[in-house]
Structure 1
C-alpha cells in the first residue's frame, strides 16, 4: 500500500509518502527542492554516483512513522543539502523548511 498525504509545517505544504513493504515501510517527505527519507536512502550513492544531479536530501535512521521522520535528527545529508545550510543532526522538519 502507498499513502500520499500533504502535510503542513509552519504554513508550508510538503508531501508525505509511505510505502508499506514486507517487514518495513519506506518513508519520505518532499518539497519542490529536496526531501528527507528513512534509513533506506543511500546518501553515499547520491553524493558519489549521482553527484552531477546535486540532489538535496537528508536521511534519518530508526524511524517508523512520518511524525518520527519529521522530528528525528538527520544521520546524514547530501552535499547539495549542506550547500543549503542543512547539516547532520538537524531535525527533519527544520531541514525541510530550508528546502522551500
Structure 2
C-alpha cells in the first residue's frame, strides 16, 4: 500500500509518502527543494554518482513512521543539503524547514 499526506510545518507544506513493502516500509517527506527519507536512501550514491543533480536530502535510520522521521536525527546528508545548513544529527523537522 502507498499512503500520502500533506504535512504543515510552520505554514510550509510538505508531502509525506509511506510505502508498505514486504518486511519494510519506505518513508519520505519532501517539498519542491528536497527531502528526508528512511534508511533506504543511499546518500553516498547521491553525493558521488548523482552529484551533478545537486540533490538536497537527508537520511534517518531506525524510523518506522512519518512521525518518527520528523523527530529522528539525520544520520547522513548530501553535500548540497550541507550548503543549506542541514547537518547530521539535526532532527528531520528542523532539516525540512531549512529546505524552504
- Partner of 1:7: helix, strand, or coil? strand
Q: Note the aligned Cα RMSD (angstroms).
A: 0.4
- TM score, norm. by length of structure 2: 0.99
Structure 2 partner of 1:73 = 73
Offset of residue 42 of structure 1? 0.1
Structure 1 partner of 2:90 = 90
How many residue pairs were aligned?
Answer: 100
Offset of residue 11 of structure 1? 1.1
- TM score, norm. by length of structure 1: 0.99
Asked if 1:53 is matched to 2:53, the reply is yes
Structure 1 partner of 2:14 = 14
Runs of 5+ unmatched residues, structure 1:
none
Offset of residue 73 of structure 1? 0.2
